Each structure stands twice: as C-alpha cells, then as structure tokens.
Amino acid sequence: MPADQPTSRQPDPGRQGVQQPDEASAAYGPTARTRPTRARERAGYDRELVHAILDDDYLCHLGFVRDGAPVVLPTLYARVGERLYVHGSTGSRPLREAGRPEPGMPVCLTVTRVDGLVLAKSAFHHSVNYRSVVVHGLARQVTDPAERCAALDALVENIVPGRADDSRRADAKELAATAVVRVDLTEASAKVRTGGPEDEPEDRNLPYWSGVLPVSRTYGTPVPADEPGPGIPVPGYLTAR
C-alpha cells in the first residue's frame, strides 16, 4: 500500500482539535434568513430534525453569487457533527473562492426529499409532501490534512455506508487535485409538509379522485463494471440496500 494512502478511517474531524460549532442548544435559533414568509407552521429549527433530514440524503444544491449573478450547483455532501462538507476540483472557481481569506464565501445550501405527490380536487391545491433543509453560512476550504481525509471518507460513506473501507483512498496526487469545503451549521432551518390535500369545502363533492401518491427511493440490482476483477462478489452493503 502506498505510504501516502491512509490505512484506516480517519476520526471525526471534530475530534481532531478543530473547534466545532456550538452543539449545546437543542435547536438552531431562527434568523431573518431562515424564518419563512409563508407556511410558517411547517418550519422547524430542532437540531435533531435538521440532522435527520440531512442524513437521509447525499445530494444538495449549493447557491452563491458569481460576478453579480446567482449560481446554483448540484453536488454531493456529507454531515459530520455540526459541519457540512462538499468537495470538487481545485480548478473549480467557486471552490477557489471559498479558499480566499476570511471570512469565506457566502453560500446557501439546500436539501429536499419528496415523500409524496398530493393530488387535490382542484388544480390550485395540488402540492407535495416533502422534507427540506436550508443552510446559510460561509464556505471555507479545509486545509488540515486529517480533517480533509475524514471529510472525504464521510462523503463516500454518506453515499454508500461501508464503501470507504472497501475502496482505495485518494493518493497524494489525487488529494492535491481535490478541494474540500466546509459550511458550519450555525444558521439552519427545516421545513416539512405531511398529510393529504387541503381542498375547499365546496370542492369536496367534486367527481375527481384526491389523495397522496407516496414517493420513495429504491435501488436496483448492482451492475458490475466491465472488469470488476476475478472472483470479486457484490459487497453485502450493496445487496442489503
């Protein structure tokens, strides 16, 4: 095994002497940016709720301003404690911007899971059941080697648990080409809709079906690469998904 390749999972970055955001409070304090202007009853700031939604997905949308215009990019992410990590090429302009001196690059990161399509009697009241998180903060490049390795492990594990220990870790050349960006969870909120359609009383006897069509994520049968290697079985962490 190459000397520059980690031989075991790195510990949580929060245990590497890097100060973590405050975890004492059970909820994130609402701010002008995280307080919704409508459907406020669906908003939540409970820390466990925000974490649960984030941990149930791996694709986020990262928004920022470039040359005076808004830009939103889909990207993979992982949560470790009170931090979110994303990664990309060191040649990526937004990731270079995140590496500039303090205070960092202002960003808005969002995650959404759709749980159902809500069909009402009227077209106006059609909706979706969903769970979402919005995070405002400053994106900063991670330069500490231990935190970078732990963050990259977390990104792989968040996509497929068990995979980080079952793949070759990045070597020195690959690490040099990879930028890791951190966003602290200090300004975050959740928004959730559940339940059926909210029809007007006068519409409830209309001859149209109404209700919820549930939506869920499922995985198919693993398809091996053209040259997976002789006698390598499909890992159990894939067949169990």
What is the predicted pLDDT for the residue at 151?
Answer: 96
Domains in the chain with CATH codes: 31-212+232-239 (2.30.110.10)
pLDDT tens-digit map of 63-102: 999 889 999 999 999 999 999 999 988 877 767 776 665 6
Q: What is the mean pLDDT of residues 39-43?
A: 77
Share of the chain above pLDDT 70, in %: 86
Q: Which residues on neighbouring strands pair with residue 78, listed in sequence order?
A: 85
Lowest mean pLDDT among 10-14, 59-63, 164-168, 196-200: 10-14
pLDDT tens-digit map of 115-147: 999 999 999 999 999 999 999 999 999 999 999
Q: What is the mean pLDDT of residues 210-229?
A: 90
Q: Which helix (H) or strand (E) holds 150?
A: helix 145-159
Residue 2: pLDDT band by 50, 70, 90 thresholds?
Answer: very low
Distance of CA 175 to the CA centre of its chain: 22
As a dihedral over the C-alpha atoms of residue 44, residue 46, residue 47, residue 49, rounded to 10 degrees, the angle is: -70
Instruction: Note if the bond before 103 is cis, omega within 30 degrees.
Output: yes
CA dist 3 and 7 (Å) reads 9
Residue 21: pLDDT band by 50, 70, 90 thresholds?
Answer: low
The model carries a pTM of 0.83
